[in-house]
Structure 1
Amino acid sequence: MTVLEARPAQEDPDRGQPHPVTRALLRLRPLLYAVGAALALIFAFPPHDLWFLAPVGVALFALATHGRRARAGAALGFVAGAIFFGVLLNWTSIQVGKMPWVLLVGLQAGFMALQGAAAAYVSPLLVRRVWLFGPVTAALWTLQEALRGRIPFGGFPWGRLAFSQGDSPLLGFAAAGGAPLVTFATALVGGLLVALLMNVTGAGVRTRSTVPMASAQVVKRGAALAGAAGLVVVAGLAVPKTEPGGTAVTVAIVQGNVPRLGLDFNEQRRAVLDNHVNATLDLARRVDAGQTPRPDLVVWPENASDIDPLRNPDAATRISEAADAIGAPILVGTLGVAPDDPEKIINVGQVWNPRTGPGDRYIKQHPVPFAEYVPFRSLARKVTDKVDLVRRDFAPGDRPGVLQLGPARIGDVICFEVAYDGLVRDAVVSGGQLIAVQTNNATFNVAEAEQQLAMVRLRAVEHGQDALMASTVGVSGFVDAHGRVYGATSFFTAAVVVRQLHIDNRRTLATRLGAGPEYLFIAGALAALVAAALIRRRTKTEEEQ
C-alpha cells in the first residue's frame, strides 16, 4: 500500500453543504411564502377576480407560519397582512392622504399577525396529524375575520375570504352558513392543499417528529386529501340555491353621477340632486313613449340628495316632481338632523311617494368611524386635518332598514353596512323581501365599488333574495339569488338601469342560522389552541424528566 493510499482521507468541510445562495433562500423561504400569500390574495379579490387564488394564498400563509415560533409567525402574518391590505385598501388613501391608510392597513395587518402567531402555536397539534391542517387552518382564519369584523369601533370586515368567491363554486355555501361558511370552505381547501403538499414532499415541515411513511401510504393519504378538497368544491355546487319565485316587480336604479369625484361631493349637493331628478324625468319620458317598462319602484343611491327634503322645500319640490313623473315611489339617499341630538346628522334612506311625498325612512345604523363620525377627534386631528371635513358627527339609527316601497318591502342597508352579516340579516328577518344597497363611491374608485358589489352578490345568495346596488357614480347593478350580476354600470357615468326582480318571503338555512356557524368555527379554533397548549406542556414535561 502506498503512502498516499495509507493517508487518512481529508474531510471536505463544504462537501454536502448547500450553496450559500441556496442557504439564503432556505432562510428566506417563510418570508417568500408570506409575500406569495399576500399576492395570491390580492389577485383573488376584485378587480382581478381570480377567485381560485384565495385557497392558494391560504396555503402559502400556512406554509409560512407552520413550525415557527409564535413571534416569527406573528411577524410573517403582519408582513402578509400589510402587503395584502395595503393594496386591497389603497382606495382609502385617494382623498384623505397616506396616514389614515397606513393606520388602517396596520390595524388590519395586526389581526393577520395574531393569526400567524396562532397558526405557529398550533404546529405541534398538526405533527403526525396532517389531516387536521384543513379544519384547523379554516377555523383560525374564520376566527381572525370574526375579530377583525367586530373590533375596534364595530370592526372593518373588508377583505374577508368570502368576498373573493363571487364566481367560485364555493359561493354556494353562503346559502347554508353565510359569509363565515364560505370563508371556512375556502380556507379548508387551502389547508388541504398544504396537507397534500406536506404528505408528498414534507415541504414547510420543521419538526423532528414527522415519521416517514411508505410510498403506498403516501399515495393513499394523498388521494384522500385531494379527494377531500375536491369534495368541498363539489359540495359548494350542491348546496341548494333559491330559485326565482314570488311576485315580480320592475325596479329602476338611477345613477345620477356627480360633477367631480372627491371629498367635496357635499358642496356639489344641488347639482347631484338635479342629476338624479333629471335622470328620473328622462326615464319617465321614455316610459311614456313606450320605450321602457314603467317601474314599480325606483332606487336612488346614498347622498343622492344631501339637501334634506324634510327641511328644504325646494329639494322636496324637485323630488316630488320626479316621483310624480315616474308614477312610482323613490327610495332617496339623503341626510337629516338626528331626532335626539340636533348637533348631529343622520344618513337616511327616505321613501318618497308620488303625490303624497315623504313616507317611512331608514337611518343608517353603523356610521363609519373617522368618515361619518370621528372618535377621539382631537387626537385624530394630529394624524390628519382631513378629520375636520366631518364637521358634524353622524348619529346611528336603532332599527333595521325595512321599508315599504310600492309593492315591495325593501331590506335597505347603506354603503359599508353590506359588509356586516348582522345588519343585512336583520333587514331580511324583519320582513325585507328585496335587498337594496344604497352607496356613494364618489370618494373612492372603481376597485372599491367592485369589491362592494362582490359583497352584494354574497348577500343575495346568503338570503336567497334578489338584490341591487345603487351608487351615485357606479358601479350600480342588479344581482339575482344565485349571485349573478345584471345591468352593471360603468364608473363615473350617468346611467339608468331597469330590470324585473322577484320579492319573496322564503328564508334560507343561512338566514335561519344567523351567526351560529361562525360561533361553531370560533369554538373549533379555540379548541385547537387549547389542544396545542396541552401538547406543548406535555412535551416540556417529558423533556424535563
Structure 2
Amino acid sequence: MPLRCLLALVGGLVLAAAFEPVGIAWLMPPAIAALVLSVRGLAPRRAWLPSLLFGIAFVYAVMVWMRAVGTDAWIAMCALEAAFFVPLGIGLSWSLRSRAWPVLAALWWVGIETLRSGFPFSGMPFGRLAYATADTPWADAIPWVGMVGASLLVALTGTTLAWLLLQVRTPTRRAYAVVAALAVVTVAPVLVQVPVEESGTATVAAVQGDVPGTGLNVPAVHREVTANHVRLTRELADAVEAGDEPQPDFVVWPENSTAVDPFLDTEIHAGIISASDAIGVPVIVGGMSNDPLDETQVLNQGIVYEPGLGSGDRYTKRHPVPYGEYIPFRGVSWMPSSYGRLTEVPRDMVRGTSLEPLRVGGIRVADAICFDVAYDEGIAGQVARGAELVTVQTSNAMFSRTGQLAQQFEISRLRALETGRWVVVAAINGISGVVRPDGTVVASVPARGQEVLVETVGLSTTTTPAVVLGVWPGRLALVFLLVHTLTVLIAYGRRRRGTRPGSAVMEQGVST
C-alpha cells in the first residue's frame, strides 16, 4: 500500500503540471495511468485511499491560486474537491473487474469530473481534463464532442496506457488494435474539422484599464478603475477621429469596470455616458447593479450602453462564486458569515438565468462573466440561440500574481473551438485577448498591462455539433455513474443473499 500511495501522490502532481502555468498537456495520460495502477487489485474498501491521495495532490496543486483569496479558503475548497476522488477510487475498483475496464474507468473519471463541476453550490470546474488540451489533437475534437467528450478522450488515453503497460510482457494483436482504434478516434477530428461559415465581420475594442496600486483590490480603488476605462475609451475615440485606429462596432469593458451601481452613482454614470458618446458606438460595461426586487442583493452584469440612449440589454452572471460573491445559508445560526474575509461579502450576488444573447449594435453577442466561462451551459446556450460572437468580461484582480489568469484564458480559447465563434476577452488587469474560432490568439494584453485591443473579428451563425449536444454529454456521464453503481450494488446484494447460512439447504429442498 505505501508504494501505491506514493504512486498516486506523484500522479496527482504530474496531472497538475499539465495545466497552466506549467502547461505540459501530454502529462495527462501517464498521470491517469498512475491513478489506475495505484488502485488496481484493491477492493473498493481500500481503493479509495490512493485515489484520495491522488486527488489531494492534484487539486491543491492545480488550484493553488485560491490562496489569493485566503489560505483557509484554499484549504477548505480543495478539501471538498479532493473528497470527490473517494467515490472515484471505488468506481475504478469496480470498473477494473470488467474486461472493458479502460472504457468504464474513463467514464468514471468523466462522471466524477462532471459531478464536482456542478455540485455543491455550482461546483468548481477548474481542473477538468479538457481545459488542458489547447494546442493538442484532443482540442480538435471539442467542436464535435464538447468539453465532456474531450475529457473522455484524454481519460481513455490514460486508461488505455495503463492497460498497455499491463500487457507489455505479452503484447497481442488485440493490444495493437486497441491502440490503433484510439489513435483513429483522437486524430480523426484533426483531419475532419467542423466547417464554420463566416456570415460577416465586426471591429471590436477590448479595454484593459488595470487596477492602480498593487492591482489586487478593485473595491478600494474602484473610482480610479472606472476612470481608467473611461479615459482609454475616450483616447480610442480620439485615435479613431485622427485615423490612427478603425472605428469599432462596439467596445467591451471588463467585469468590475464599475464596482458600484452605475444607475445610482451619478459620477460613474456620467463617466460611462461620456465614454459611450465619445466613441459613438455601444459599450458593454461590467457593473454591479442593485437587485430591483431586493436591495440586500446585488447583480453582476454586462450592461450595454448605447450612445445617446443609455443602457440597453443586460447579461447577469450565471455562476456567482460561493463565499466570494455570496454566502450560502446566510442567516443560519451555524453559518459563520462574520468570520474573516466573509465580512467582505455584505450582500449576496443573485444568479442570472437568461440565455438570450445581448443585442449590441445589431450584433447578437454571447456574454460570460469571469468563472461563467468554465461552465458548459452558458456560452453554448447563448450560441444555440443565435449569438454570432462571444465576449468574456472578467476581473480576476486578486489572482493577478497567480496561474489562474492563464488557466482561465486557456478555457476561453477552448470555448472558441467549442462554439466556432471568435472570442473577445476583456480583463480588468489581464489577460485580455482576441481568439479565432480555431483557438489561436490574434492579440493579447498581459497581466497589469493597460491597453485597448482593436481587432476585426468574424461573425458566424454556424452551429457546431458540440453546441447541439449542449449539456447532454455531462448528464449522460452522471447517468452512467448511477446505473453502474446500482448494477454493482444489486449484484452485491444478490451474492449476499446467495451466501446466507442455510440458503443452499433451502435451495436443495425446493429443487426436490
**Structure 1 residues 228 and 28: CA distance shift in structure 2, 3 A:** farther
Equivalent in the alignment of 2:411 = 455
2:121 corresponds to which of 138, 153, 164: 153
Q: Deviations over 1:225-275 (max 9, x none)?
A: 321332232123234234351110011100000013466311211000001
Equivalent in the alignment of 1:168 = 136
Q: Deviations over 1:47-95 (max 9, x none)?
A: 122111112211111111122122322111211111111111111111x
Q: Distance in 1 between matches of 2:38 and 2:23?
A: 24
Equivalent in the alignment of 2:96 = 123
Equivalent in the alignment of 2:382 = 427
Equivalent in the alignment of 2:202 = 249
Q: Distance in 1 between matches of 2:82 and 2:345?
A: 26
Instruction: Assess if the C-alpha contact under 8 Å between 1:302 and 1:333 holds in 2.
Output: yes
Correspondences of 1:27-176 after superposition (within 5 Å): 27-94=1-68, 96-125=69-98, 129=99, 132-176=100-144
Equivalent in the alignment of 1:15 = none
Q: Deviations over 1:148-192 (max 9, x none)?
A: 022111211111111111111111221122111011111011111
Q: Structure 2: which amino acid aligns with 1:114?
A: P
Instruction: Assess if the C-alpha contact under 8 Å between 1:363 and 1:401 holds in 2.
Output: no
Q: Distance in 2 between matches of 1:117 and 1:252?
A: 50
Q: Does 1:386 align with 2:353?
A: no
Measured after TM superposition, the shift of residue 223 of structure 1 is 1.4
Measured after TM superposition, the shift of residue 525 of structure 1 is 4.3
Correspondences of 1:470-489 after superposition (within 5 Å): 470-489=426-445
Equivalent in the alignment of 1:507 = 463
Measured after TM superposition, the shift of residue 297 of structure 1 is 0.9
Instruction: Assess if the C-alpha contact under 8 Å between 2:217 and 2:397 holds in 1.
Output: no
Q: Structure 1: which amino acid aligns with 2:255?
A: E
Measured after TM superposition, the shift of residue 111 of structure 1 is 0.6
Measured after TM superposition, the shift of residue 373 of structure 1 is 0.6
Q: Does 1:366 align with 2:319?
A: yes
Instruction: Assess if the C-alpha contact under 8 Å between 2:196 and 2:460 holds in 1.
Output: no
Q: Distance in 2 between matches of 1:33 and 1:242?
A: 43
Instruction: Assess if the C-alpha contact under 8 Å between 1:100 and 1:384 holds in 2.
Output: no
Instruction: Assess if the C-alpha contact under 8 Å between 2:381 and 2:467 holds in 1.
Output: no
Equivalent in the alignment of 1:11 = none
Q: Distance in 2 between matches of 1:98 and 1:35?
A: 21
Gaps of 5+ in 2: 505-512
Equivalent in the alignment of 1:12 = none
Q: Distance in 1 between matches of 2:293 and 2:392?
A: 26
| Aligned-partner SS, 2:201 | strand
**Greater mean deviation of Cα atoms: 132-141 or 379-388:** 379-388
**Structure 1 residues 116 and 282: CA distance shift in structure 2, 3 A:** same
Using the size of structure 1 for normalisation, the TM-score is: 0.86
Q: Distance in 2 between matches of 1:323 and 1:533?
A: 62
Report the number of matched residues. Answer: 498
Q: Does 1:289 align with 2:263?
A: no
Q: Deviations over 1:503-527 (max 9, x none)?
A: 2222111111222223333444445
Measured after TM superposition, the shift of residue 112 of structure 1 is 1.5
| Aligned-partner SS, 2:424 | strand
Equivalent in the alignment of 1:8 = none
Q: Does 1:416 align with 2:371?
A: yes
Larger radius of gyration: 1
| Aligned-partner SS, 2:463 | coil
Instruction: Assess if the C-alpha contact under 8 Å between 1:241 and 1:481 holds in 2.
Output: no
Measured after TM superposition, the shift of residue 219 of structure 1 is 3.2
Instruction: Assess if the C-alpha contact under 8 Å between 1:349 and 1:362 holds in 2.
Output: yes
Instruction: Assess if the C-alpha contact under 8 Å between 1:400 and 1:426 holds in 2.
Output: yes
Q: Deviations over 1:388-408 (max 9, x none)?
A: 101111122231252111131
**Greater mean deviation of Cα atoms: 50-59 or 184-193:** 50-59
Q: Deviations over 1:427-480 (max 9, x none)?
A: 222332111111101011341111111211221111111112211010011111
Instruction: Assess if the C-alpha contact under 8 Å between 1:401 and 1:410 holds in 2.
Output: no
Instruction: Assess if the C-alpha contact under 8 Å between 2:197 and 2:461 holds in 1.
Output: no
Q: Does 1:521 align with 2:483?
A: no
| Aligned-partner SS, 2:288 | strand
Measured after TM superposition, the shift of residue 352 of structure 1 is 0.9
Instruction: Assess if the C-alpha contact under 8 Å between 2:201 and 2:458 holds in 1.
Output: yes
